[in-house]
Amino acid sequence: MEISTTLSDTPVSEARLSEILVDPGFGVHFTDHMFTVEWTPEKGWHDARITPYGPLVLDPATAVLHYAQETFEGMKAYRHADGSVHLFRPEANAERMIRSSQRLALPELPVDDFLAAVEALVKVDARWVPEAQGEKSLYLRPFMFASEKFLGVRPSQHVTFMVIASPAGSYFKGGLKPVSLWLTEDYTRAGRGGMGAAKTGGNYASSLVAQQEATANGCDQVVFLDAQDGLYVEELGGMNMYFVFRDGSIVTPATGTILEGITRSSIIALAEQLGHEVTERRFAIDEWRSGIASGDIVEIFACGTAAVVSPVGELRSAAGTTAAPASTELTMKIRSALVDVQFGRAEDTNGWLRQVL
């Protein structure tokens, strides 16, 4: 893929950038450039370019605005103490985007082109990758959407893939403290044959009322149960879950209707390397309640790229409150094992990092 580059005439000043990087928040500031490539059936992927960051001009009939045919990814670039910049398992994001795109009838962007796009943007906006202190990073948001001007319901014949980047600090406003969860019994996230395993905007749109319900009930995040029986824990709006038992074993809900997190699979590997048995299986909401009551479940945590690893506190629902687990010890140990690799403080024995600069 040939990528042309047009640099911004009005990049953010060094003084303003330093101010932003002190406390970047999540998803509020964007870098000086963006990556774009277009697809049509005749030409395939073409016209790859880095241009100054800015608004898109879209026809009101652009298909994505009506039928939500789109997919996206979330990943981060990490600066190490020696100044080098690394991506964490970006091939896994590229492969997941291919699976999501297959589900959404979008064209597949080859892994090498996905990597070239992300790396080109990180290189041109390298000064936006924060120093490692405080676990800040540059969040990367690749996304693909139906850009054809057409109101018929069929796969778009013009598709646009873009990458934008945003410096990121803590995803949760309060920093690292246990997140309280609201169990929604009215809304589900994904049914059999649906698109729960795809990273696509519609899944997040459908989660918003449930998240509003969580907020109205004083909780940080919402937890979804399976759509078929309403008995099994799936995941949070944007994170996968783990249950730690007294004997050190760990259970994480099985896949199929959940989004298979890259953090999720990394944590399974790290926990096994730390000597813990990890089982992927259906996990009933009743097992959560009884496990806390009996003390069999000693820790619960959730993970995702944006939110990293976060201890889970109380579970609230219409039926009442389940207390927070007793400990966060293993959660914090696994969290450190993960972020130490990402920030180059521990040896990357699994070969997960890809150096960009």
Q: Tell the smallest beta-carbon distance from residue 304 to ligand PLP (Å).
A: 3
Task: Give the type of residue at 116.
Answer: A
Task: Give the type of residue at 331.
Answer: T
CA distance 25 to 210: 23
Asked whether 98 and 108 are in contact (CB, 8 A), the reply is yes
Asked whether 302 and 234 are in contact (CB, 8 A), the reply is no
Q: Tell the smallest beta-carbon distance from residue 157 to ligand COI (Å).
A: 28
Residue nearest ligand PLP (C-beta atom): 261
Task: Give the type of residue at 240.
Answer: N
Which residues bind to ligand PLP, rule: CB under 6 A? Answer: 74, 235, 238-240, 259, 261-264, 304-305
Asked whether 90 and 140 are in contact (CB, 8 A), the reply is no
Give the residue ranges of DSSP H helices in 126-277.
Answer: 201-216, 262-273
The tokens of 312 are what?
Answer: 């889970």
Q: Tell the smallest beta-carbon distance from residue 139 to ligand COI (Å).
A: 7
Closest CA relative to residue 17, chosen from 160, 131, 113: 131
Cβ distance to ligand PLP smaller for residue 24 or 237 = 237
CA distance 153 to 283: 37
129 binds, among ligand COI, ligand PLP, none (CB under 5 to 8 A by kind): none
- The dihedrals phi and psi of 17, each to the nearest 5 degrees, come to -60, -45
140 binds, among ligand COI, ligand PLP, none (CB under 5 to 8 A by kind): none
What angle separates helix 90-103 from helix 262-273, to the nearest 10 degrees? 140
Cβ distance to ligand COI smaller for residue 172 or 245 = 172
Q: Tell the smallest beta-carbon distance from residue 233 to ligand PLP (Å).
A: 13
Cβ distance to ligand COI smaller for residue 204 or 245 = 204
Q: Tell the smallest beta-carbon distance from residue 261 to ligand COI (Å).
A: 8
Which residues bind to ligand COI, rule: CB under 6 A? Answer: 74, 204, 238, 304-306
Asked whether 38 and 160 are in contact (CB, 8 A), the reply is yes
In whole angstroms, how far apart are CA 202 and each of 57, 125, 140, 146?
Answer: 22, 30, 20, 14
Cβ distance to ligand PLP smaller for residue 324 or 338 = 338
Cβ distance to ligand COI smaller for residue 239 or 330 = 239
Closest CA relative to residue 124, chosen from 96, 88, 156, 165: 165
Q: Tell the smallest beta-carbon distance from residue 74 to ligand COI (Å).
A: 2
Cβ distance to ligand PLP smaller for residue 3 or 198 = 198
The tokens of 224 are what?
Answer: 């979804």
CA Rg value for the chain: 21
Cβ distance to ligand COI smaller for residue 292 or 306 = 306
Q: Tell the smallest beta-carbon distance from residue 93 to ligand PLP (Å).
A: 7
Q: Tell the smallest beta-carbon distance from residue 328 to ligand PLP (Å).
A: 19
Torsion of CA 36, 37, 39, 43, to 10 degrees: 150
Closest CA relative to residue 105, chosen from 174, 178, 156: 156
240 binds, among ligand COI, ligand PLP, none (CB under 5 to 8 A by kind): ligand PLP
180 binds, among ligand COI, ligand PLP, none (CB under 5 to 8 A by kind): none
Cβ distance to ligand PLP smaller for residue 74 or 90 = 74
